A and B are shown apart, each in its own frame.
Chain A
Amino acid sequence: MPDTKAKIALELNGEPVEVAFAPHKTLLEVLREDLGLTGTKHGCELGECGTCTVLVDGVPVLSCLVLGLACAGRRVKTVEGMAEGGKLHPLQHAFAELGAAQCGYCTPAFLLAAEALLAANPRPTRDDIKQALAGNLCRCTGYIKIYEAVEWAAAQLRGEDAQPAREVLYGHP
């Protein structure tokens, strides 16, 4: 184990940051242990579950498979960077309102993967959403409320005055 720390500079959630860490550490570990951003979670640390997803230069990556060193000079976004000025991102708002976050453990990863999807495709179909989120496991929701939240947030981001259908929250008559 090397005892010399490496130091990098990166843009983290819109702000310049310098951080020193043991050079073998993954981005996941650097975020959680050296930068104190525990909103990024881990489910396997083997690149299997998607729970540690963050955005690097706007692209969803598995932070457990990326070395911290590889992020020098890059733009990293975590769930802590989604709300602006104390106001939830429309995705966060929709996830909260519809119960798309149950235990909430996989939620940061889903939010960021969905944000990347909506940046590239403001009007995704249900199948587009399924494809974009296929690398993220959730054991609580059955994904249904997540799809519905992404669709609602997408509509809000497009400026539409959308509300979820009654059966989303109360079931079919």
Chain B
Amino acid sequence: MQGHPPRRGGLRVVGKAHRKTDATAKVTGATRFADDLFLPRMLYAKLLRSPHPHARIVRIDPSRALALAGVKAVLTGKDLPIPFGILPVSQDEHALALDKARFVGDPVAGVAAVSEEIATAALDLIAVEYEPLRPVRDALDAVAHPEPRIHAYGDGGNLHKLINLEFGDVEEAFTAADLVREDLLFFDGNTHLPMEQHAAAADWSADGKLTLWSSTQTPHYVHRALAQVLELAPARIRVIATPNGGAFGGKSDPFSHELVVAKLAMVTGRPVKITLTREEVFYCHRGRHPTLMWVKTGVKRDGSITGMHFKSLLDGGGYGSYGVASTYYTGALQTVTYHVPRYKFQGARAFTSKPPCGPKRGHGTPQPRFALEVHLDKIAEQLGIDPAELRLKHLVPPNSLTANWLRIGTMGLGACIEKVVAGSGWKEKFRKLPDGKGIGLACSSYITGAGLPIYWNPMPHSGVQLKCDRGGGVTVFCGSTEIGQGSDSILAIIVAEVLGLDPFDIAIVTGDTDLTPVDLGSYSSRVTLMTGHAAIQAAERARDVIARHAAQKLGIPPERAAFADARVFDVERPEHGLTFGEAVQLAEAAEGTVGTVGSYTPPPSAGKYRGAGVGPSPAYSYSACVAEVDVDAATGIVRVPKIWIAHDVGRCINAATVMGQIEGSVYMGLGEALMEEMAYRGNRNVMHKIPSLLEYKSPTTLEMCDVVTYVVEDPDPNGPFGAKECGQGPLLPVPPAVANAVYDAVGVRIDEVPITPEKVFKALRRKAKGEEPRYGPDRFPDILWPEPIRVPPPWEGGDGTATDGGGRARTGKVVAVARETVRGS
């Protein structure tokens, strides 16, 4: 599908700042979140969770719990024995642990009772005998200890996934460089922390139909998991995604509690609801993977890159989740900002005895972006080039292919850099501020949806149905999920634009597998682009039908029928027209109910090698960020008074929500930069230290910085009206910009986030002693990588396929299957 040029008279609705269609409900408390559902005769469910990080379950005896007055059912692993998982290659979860518990908090039993208090009391009466196994503390521990294995599958020992991709000979590229630099960096894990705790309610009707309401970003995948685990026909399951009270990727896996509450409803014949406690939300996690990274880059004196070699080691936690995709993502987007002619990526994901990691805002890319942008800052200093200039001189050209065969469309990074450099007074401040004050710059890019779906299939990624009412109203049905980002409004605005209506005359029905066509879900910044295209197609089809009959009535050719201000009129005589409702009535009288459909499938990817499924996107957004910091050398405390951020969004559909997404991304990036971390006790118990909102530090109003936002618009032919994403990309440059600013302020490199006072203080002490003024990791472990998959970059010939399969590990074990089924997320 190609671009949509502005209609006659330009855009009337798209691009303006609109109140969101659901805003009034949200400010009046009328929005019904999942835990706001109270159904007649409803039971309450609770989960018993493992107190051990890694243990075999020897025996579970629920009899005493079942005997407690008010308890209606108890489930254990054997009641739900079919495994599931978001990725086809990682079907490694059970609704309730079947034979082993893999982290402290792994659910092992579920109870339904007439009250939450009784359900909670019943948990204490379930007797579980565990045989503790050696836990795996972190990724380094997993590399060092292949046994005992957490899972029986994967790429050997406690390594879940190994990736080795080579796009040209990087060693040769390093010999051609004037400077070759290596750096080691670490990005600690952190979590989504949505204000709403996950909740789900299920109802089983006597005619064998299950309804699940859940705070999920991905009702389609929950629908699939329910059918698989409960062995029900998908046609008998209805999943309704309630408005999410924040998600950020934390509600995009099918979860244990959703399956358990559904099964409990089936067993008891009564509605059952579960609402997780805040502590339990930390156990659901699926947040940022702690990632150790090594990067080696060769550059010429002018800063042009000759080649780059990047290694990442991800701490995956106890289950696969999106982890295989996350691992690919730590190596996918290094090439889309600055020209990298040769590139090698080696990535490994370890299983560890902690809550599973997965997709958090930026999915797998904030970590390598932090590493790359800090690394470039050091290279710029060594070359004596201003870091902004270094970046500006070597931007990836628009409409080009990268070394790893990603197809770049519009590319607004140069404009973004210029905005933040000018706005922040960069040239007057960089290396010129007084001691303790610093300024840092970093850039980034992010996908606007993945090019391929999680489950390989040739069907559209997004579908829209549209119904025109005789009264002039229009209803849009779409499987997309409103998680606060404003996706419902995007549908309303786009349909309003095409049909010449007011967005508030459009009713939106979303996130309901019975009522709406499939949209894959609110993740990977795909929703505006994909639902937008589907909505345009459906609306244009409706417009064509209506125009045909309105034109006949007006005595004009259909192409002269214009749609605006809820009227259909002769574009050459605007006063000669009908109301939209009258036009719909004419069309309905002639052709029957006016209903249309639209759908969207992304363009094919350029890369055809195994692993090429992660990274391709219809369009890449770009961001540039300048951060100013104050560092207190006595305490190591870093304060960030102000951030300048410029984001290339292609085109705003709703300017107000674009601003909100950019500011929210900066906020979340700031939290990750300074304070947010999933901290575990250092001993072998691998207990979460701080599963609470008080102890897990996130920025309050007192820590949040001022933000100066620049919206760069350069419509992308692949975006609806030219739009690209804005919900994740602007997070990425914030942590490296802060790290680079800390160096500018006090001359120490903090090669690790979060940049806590302790780390800054330790680095300052080292500096004072004449040691290396740095805090960060000191080694990347030896990993037995499989033979690389070699793919020549576009400028070295080839067609995006691998020149050799490289599918065999050195051990001789077949690592890769014939068709990699993980395509992206």
Q: Which residues of A contact B (CB under 8 A)?
A: 1, 32-33, 36-46, 48-49, 51, 78-80, 82-83, 88, 91-93, 95-99, 101-108, 111, 129-131, 133-145, 147, 167-173
List which B644-689 residues lie within 8 A (CB) of chain A.
652, 655-660, 662-668, 670
Interface pair B196/A103, CB less than 8 Å apart: yes
Choose from A93, A103, A108, A173 the contact partner of B243 (Cβ within 8 Å): A103
Interface pair B707/A142, CB less than 8 Å apart: yes
Interface pair A140/B246, CB less than 8 Å apart: yes
Chain B residues whose C-beta falls within 8 Å of the C-beta of A98 in the assembled complex = 656
Interface pair B27/A92, CB less than 8 Å apart: yes
Min Cβ gap B395→A in Å is 22
Residue B399 CB within 8 A of the other chain: no
Residue B195 CB within 8 A of the other chain: yes
Interface pair A137/B698, CB less than 8 Å apart: yes
Min Cβ gap A60→B in Å is 14
Interface pair B711/A130, CB less than 8 Å apart: no
Residue B370 CB within 8 A of the other chain: no
Residue B423 CB within 8 A of the other chain: yes
Chain B residues whose C-beta falls within 8 Å of the C-beta of A97 in the assembled complex = 19, 23, 656
Contacts A103-B245, A105-B33, A172-B709; is A142 near B27 (CB within 8 Å)?
no
Chain B residues whose C-beta falls within 8 Å of the C-beta of A83 in the assembled complex = 28
B698, closest chain A residue (CB): A137
The docked-state distance in angstroms from the alpha carbon of A43 to that of B692 is 10
The docked-state distance in angstroms from the alpha carbon of A144 to that of B519 is 31
Interface pair B660/A99, CB less than 8 Å apart: yes
Choose from A38, A44, A93 the contact partner of B692 (Cβ within 8 Å): A44
The docked-state distance in angstroms from the alpha carbon of A44 to that of B695 is 12
Min Cβ gap A69→B in Å is 17
Interface pair B27/A104, CB less than 8 Å apart: yes
Chain A residues whose C-beta falls within 8 Å of the C-beta of B78 in the assembled complex = none
B483, closest chain A residue (CB): A103
Nearest 4 A-B pairs (CB), nearest first?
A39-B29, A103-B484, A104-B26, A142-B667
Min Cβ gap B706→A in Å is 8
Interface pair A169/B23, CB less than 8 Å apart: no
Interface pair B195/A139, CB less than 8 Å apart: yes
Interface pair B655/A169, CB less than 8 Å apart: yes
Which of A39, A43, A82: most chain B Cβ within 10 A?
Answer: A43
Q: Is the interface of A mostly helix, strand, loop or mixed?
A: loop
The docked-state distance in angstroms from the alpha carbon of A172 to that of B662 is 13
Interface pair A142/B704, CB less than 8 Å apart: yes
Residue B381 CB within 8 A of the other chain: no
Contacts A101-B27, A169-B656; is A46 near B709 (CB within 8 Å)?
no
Choose from A41, A78, A101, A135 the contact partner of B196 (Cβ within 8 Å): A41
Residue B22 CB within 8 A of the other chain: yes
Chain A residues whose C-beta falls within 8 Å of the C-beta of B195 in the assembled complex = 41, 43, 49, 51, 103, 105-106, 137-139
B647, closest chain A residue (CB): A171
Residue B197 CB within 8 A of the other chain: yes
Interface pair A88/B660, CB less than 8 Å apart: no
The docked-state distance in angstroms from the alpha carbon of A37 to that of B30 is 9
Q: Which residues of B contact A (CB under 8 A)?
A: 17, 19-20, 22-33, 35-36, 38, 117-118, 192-197, 243-248, 277-278, 423, 483-486, 652, 655-660, 662-668, 670, 692-694, 698, 700-702, 704, 707-711
Contacts A45-B277, A79-B28; is A101 near B23 (CB within 8 Å)?
yes
Contacts A49-B693, A92-B28, A103-B483; is A134 near B664 (CB within 8 Å)?
no
The docked-state distance in angstroms from the alpha carbon of A78 to that of B27 is 11
Which of B486, B660, B667: most chain A Cβ within 10 A?
Answer: B660
Interface pair A96/B667, CB less than 8 Å apart: no
Interface pair A96/B23, CB less than 8 Å apart: yes
A-B contact pairs, 28 of them (CB 8 A): A40-B29, A41-B33, A44-B692, A45-B278, A46-B278, A48-B692, A48-B694, A83-B28, A92-B24, A92-B27, A97-B656, A98-B656, A99-B656, A99-B659, A101-B20, A105-B195, A105-B245, A105-B484, A134-B701, A139-B248, A140-B484, A142-B707, A144-B663, A145-B660, A170-B17, A170-B655, A170-B659, A172-B708
Which of A99, A131, A167: most chain B Cβ within 10 A?
Answer: A99
The docked-state distance in angstroms from the alpha carbon of A33 to that of B667 is 34
Interface pair B26/A46, CB less than 8 Å apart: no
Interface pair A41/B692, CB less than 8 Å apart: no
Interface pair B31/A143, CB less than 8 Å apart: no
Contacts A105-B33, A139-B194; is A171 near B711 (CB within 8 Å)?
yes
B37, closest chain A residue (CB): A38
Interface pair A171/B30, CB less than 8 Å apart: no
Chain B residues whose C-beta falls within 8 Å of the C-beta of A143 in the assembled complex = 667, 701, 704
Interface pair A141/B664, CB less than 8 Å apart: yes
The docked-state distance in angstroms from the alpha carbon of A45 to that of B25 is 24
A95, closest chain B residue (CB): B27
Min Cβ gap B685→A in Å is 23
The docked-state distance in angstroms from the alpha carbon of A172 to that of B700 is 24
Chain B residues whose C-beta falls within 8 Å of the C-beta of A32 in the assembled complex = 36
B702, closest chain A residue (CB): A134
Interface pair A39/B19, CB less than 8 Å apart: no
Interface pair A96/B26, CB less than 8 Å apart: yes
B277, closest chain A residue (CB): A45
Min Cβ gap A88→B in Å is 7
Interface pair A130/B22, CB less than 8 Å apart: no
Contacts A137-B693, A139-B698, A142-B667; is A104 near B17 (CB within 8 Å)?
no
Chain A residues whose C-beta falls within 8 Å of the C-beta of B662 in the assembled complex = 171
Chain B residues whose C-beta falls within 8 Å of the C-beta of A105 in the assembled complex = 33, 194-196, 245-246, 484
Chain A residues whose C-beta falls within 8 Å of the C-beta of B657 in the assembled complex = 99, 102
The docked-state distance in angstroms from the alpha carbon of A144 to that of B17 is 16
Contacts A137-B700, A139-B246; is A1 near B117 (CB within 8 Å)?
yes
Given A36-B38, A168-B659, 15 additional A-B pairs, CB 8 A: A1-B118, A41-B196, A46-B694, A48-B692, A49-B195, A49-B693, A82-B28, A88-B27, A95-B23, A102-B485, A103-B244, A105-B484, A106-B195, A139-B246, A172-B423
Chain A residues whose C-beta falls within 8 Å of the C-beta of B193 in the assembled complex = 139
Min Cβ gap B707→A in Å is 6
Interface pair B28/A99, CB less than 8 Å apart: no
B662, closest chain A residue (CB): A171
Interface pair B24/A88, CB less than 8 Å apart: yes
